[in-house]
Homo-oligomer: A and B are copies of this chain.
Amino acid sequence: MVIQSKSLVSTSPGPDPVASIAEERANATFDPVDMHAVVEGSPEKAQKILELYQSLERDPILAPGFHDYELSRDENREQTTARINRMTQYVENEPYEDFWRRLNLMTVYDPSLGIRISVNLGLFINCIRGNGTDAQYNYWCVEKEARHMKQLWGCFGMTELGHGSNAAGVETTATFDEKTDEFVVNTPHIGATKWWIGGAAHSATHCVVYARLIIKGKDYGVKTFVVPLRDSRHQLMPGVAIGDIGSKMGREGVDNGWIQFSNVRIPRFFMLQKFCKVDRSGKVDLPPLEQLSYISLLQGRVGMASDSYRICARFITIATRYAVGRRQFKSDQREDEKEETQLINYPLHQRRIMPYLALTYAMGLGTDRLERQHAETVKNLEAAVAKKNEKAIYAALANTKSLFVDSAALKSTLTWLAESCITETRQACGGSGYSAYSGFGKSYADWVVQCTWEGDNNVLGMSAGRALIKNIQTILEKDIRIKGSTAYLSDAKEYLNRRYYLKREEQLTAIETLRALEVLIVRVAAAAAEKQEKLESWDAVSYERVLLSKLHAHHYLLETLFLATRKVQKPELSYVLSKVTKLYLLTNVLEAFARDFVSYAVIKPQLSLQVSSKLVPESCLEVRGQAVPLVDSFQQPDGFLNSAVGVYDGNMYENYFKVVKTHNDPTKTKAPYSLDLEDMLNRGSILSRARFENDTEASKKLSS
């Protein structure tokens, strides 16, 4: 046996994951930098993202590190605050679009930071912009500098302890006092306590409060009011009670708070009054188009869909590199190999992670499209409103409806899928996935609230599904074609009559699968429409509504992926992308919804079985060959992945061990509680601990 000293001394050869990953890269058929530009939507965007990564990985305060996984709640809050402080340097100095991109990227590793800033610059300011007059926006956001995270810090007072999803049901009241020309904001009971308010516990100076407008005893429904919470000395305003909501599953860096108002008075002109106006005498003017105010909430949903893409990219990168470097057992398909088999060469392992790799590509392109769709829709709507062009407003509103459906379907479907992706990739890294330093634990705990907030996934799914069913009802009843992102429903009549759309393996192309999805959506929606009409209840078809929302989301992704692949110039890229598309549609679409495809007679059972038993494994194997370059194409650097086992060069064991030793000083061989433990081990006998009161001698004495 030859003892060797490289970075460490070995008395026999150890694992060599670095060689394994190098081999993968040697077999790459395309350049990840090229592919990065494809998956991000454009070379310019890809370039900007890399510049931001570089800026972040260098920044002493903004850069992530393994210590992030060990922070207590207090330390977490402090770190997040320091990062916010640092981010104020950028918000004033770089283009707003770049700043948001920076924030979105940082959200992947520091979601607490992301949401603390988003609540202020996103929800608070968007609420003022969406519901307030220009003067109100200018006053608080520009003049008082809120948009630069300066002077004011805003929070978003919608949710109450008793009302989350049903925002129209909030019970905080804002009662007009004609005598003083003020609104009196009040929390009538515990259920109306503002709850979960991000930034309220310690940061916010102001809150946009969703409260019922009450004038002369009449309830005009929920409106929005700017309510100062803290004075310039950061002391609570009179009548304002605020507390910390305490420990959470994740996002411990956010100071979520509860707020109770006890007859807090604000001037009348603190009500946001772009739409609803109250004059000096308490007369209410409620113009139409109030629905427009809700468009300001869509930015958050679009952002969460994009977040889903980036978090999946992060963890599929880690899990793929791990699967290449890690060897375990010997596969009976590779008995000629000397070493144990790499995880990635097991069919089951491929089946566990490759579908998420394909999904991530679909997510990247799909959410890029959604971001652009959102920007354009908002721009058109704002332009039309500014010009007061009614026809243009209604045209823009139609697009807004598509955006509502698309963003609701994508936000809910993708945040759920991201949750599954983190879970599966963690399990695919075995024990290492459970180490905090691999990154899964914190990210999962931080992530999952995305499925609940800013539109609970089931509620959003139901809303998107309801729109689809209503569309079908219109199409079938009125025999018309519709526009927008659900235009494919227009062929409903034809789709309802054709049996077994897909019968043969050769039919399983992107274009045919898109069509099959459309047929399925039409059939599920038509059946649901019938049930809804028969039972006169939308709640009776809620299950079908959420199903439809998921199917629509996949339709959106598949369509985008397909079209993007067609546009790609370099043949080596489009070849690989076509394989990725195939894997995506086989697993995430045809297999994931196999029961529905079969039951609704869109695919023959025999073909569905073939998908599962033959086509999926074949497709996994095809993508597996380029798995490493495919994840390299996400271009997330080590400092950003922040995972001990997901490093670029594959040197996971040495790196992991180094992280463990750096963060857990081995010279401390005893725990702080060691004395207690040692005392316990070295305790006396039961008899001695019972002072010998129950030994035979005592027994003798006591019985005498």
Q: Name A residues whose Cβ lies closer than 8 Å to a Cβ of B.
A: 8, 10-15, 69-70, 72-74, 77-78, 81-82, 84-85, 88, 92-93, 149-153, 159, 161-166, 169, 171, 186, 188-193, 195-196, 201-203, 205, 232, 234-236, 241-250, 255, 258, 327-329, 331-333, 340, 346-348, 351-352, 419, 423, 426-427, 430-431, 433-437, 440-442, 444-445, 448-449, 451-453, 456-458, 462, 527, 531, 536-540, 542-544, 546, 594-595, 598-601, 605-606, 608-609, 612-613, 617, 653-654, 656-657, 659-661, 663-664, 666, 669-674, 676-678, 680-683, 686
Contacts and interface: CB of A to CB of B under 8 A. Distances in A.
B595 A601 contact: no
A483 B166 CA distance: 57
A683 B248 contact: no
Oligomeric state, in number of copies? Answer: 2
A539 B653 contact: no
Contact of A165 (B84, B430, B683): B430
A445 B657 CA distance: 23
Given A441-B248, A664-B246, A348 B166 contact: no
A140 B506 CA distance: 66
25 contacts: A12-B189, A14-B192, A85-B677, A93-B686, A151-B682, A153-B677, A165-B328, A201-B671, A202-B673, A245-B664, A246-B663, A249-B426, A249-B442, A255-B671, A258-B660, A332-B536, A346-B539, A348-B458, A348-B462, A351-B543, A426-B448, A531-B613, A544-B613, A598-B599, A599-B609
Given A444-B249, A657-B193, A12 B202 contact: no
A249 B234 CA distance: 36
A49 to B, nearest CB: 26
Contacts of A13: 189
A149 B680 contact: yes
Contacts of A594: 595, 599
Contact of A88 (B352, B612, B680): B680
B162 A347 contact: no
A68 to B, nearest CB: 10
A232 to B, nearest CB: 8
A69 to B, nearest CB: 5
Given A594-B595, A680-B149, A202 B670 contact: yes
A681 B153 contact: yes
Given A78-B672, A85-B676, A431-B453, 17 more contacts: A14-B189, A14-B191, A82-B673, A151-B682, A164-B328, A202-B669, A202-B671, A203-B671, A234-B670, A235-B669, A247-B437, A248-B436, A249-B445, A332-B538, A348-B542, A430-B452, A527-B613
Contacts of A427: 448, 451-452, 456-458
B236 A669 contact: yes
Contact of A248 (B153, B242, B346, B435): B435
Contacts of A677: 81, 84-85, 153, 202-203, 234
Contacts of A171: 12
B539 A674 contact: no
A671 B77 contact: yes
A193 B10 CA distance: 11
In this complex, which of A72, A78, A244, A440 has the most chain B Cβ atoms within 10 angstroms of its Cβ? A244
B653 A191 contact: yes
A681 B151 contact: yes
A430 B456 contact: yes
A78 B166 contact: no
A414 to B, nearest CB: 15
A348 B159 contact: no
Nearest first, the 8 A-B pairs at minimum CB distance are A249-B441, A14-B189, A247-B436, A348-B542, A202-B671, A10-B189, A243-B666, A599-B609
A597 to B, nearest CB: 9
Contact of A246 (B246, B436, B672, B678): B436
Contacts of A441: 248-250, 445
B673 A11 contact: no
Contacts of A153: 677, 681
Contacts of A527: 613
Nearest to A161: B653
Contacts of A440: 249
Nearest to A667: B243
A137 B177 CA distance: 83
Nearest to A453: B431
Nearest to A7: B190
A455 B151 CA distance: 56
